[in-house]
Amino acid sequence: MRELCYAVGTMAKSPCPISKTHFIEKSEPIKLVINGQELVADKKEFSTGSFGWFFNGKISVAVDGKPLSVQVGLNLTVVGSKDAER
């Protein structure tokens, strides 16, 4: 396994090129495919103030021919959105 080390405070923040208002008004749900199953992540403002897309639900995954119910929780956060213009 490869490990990456960064000194604390050395990573520059990436500015968000869109305001929260613009994102909420113009963004569309994102289609995702996991194990051949199509899911839809809806736009969301997270409790942290960041925004992006979110999916939570169950899918079926087979292991050795046996279907397993799998819980999926997925956040797609726009980089820099926590500090984006409101």
Q: What is the rounded CA–CA span in Å between residue 19 and residue 30?
A: 19
- Domain membership flag for residue 13: no
Residue 61 lies in a domain: yes
- The answer to whether position 33 is within a domain reads yes
**Number of domains observed in the structure of the chain:** 1
Pair type for strands 30-34 and 37-45: antiparallel
pLDDT, one tens digit per residue, over 33-81 is: 999 999 999 999 999 999 999 999 999 999 999 999 999 999 999 999 9
Does residue 12 fall inside a structural domain? no
Judge whether 74 lies within some domain.
Answer: yes
The DSSP symbol for 2 reads -
- Is 64 within the bounds of a domain? yes
Q: Looking at the domain assignment, is residue 42 inside a domain?
A: yes
Please give the residue range of the domain that contains residue 76.
20-83
Q: What is the pLDDT of residues 22-38, one digit of tens each?
A: 999 999 999 999 999 99
**Cα 31–17–34 angle (5° rounding)?**
20
- Residue 8: the pLDDT is 55
Within 10 angstroms of residue 34's Cβ, the number of other Cβ atoms is: 13
32 is written with which tokens?
């995702």
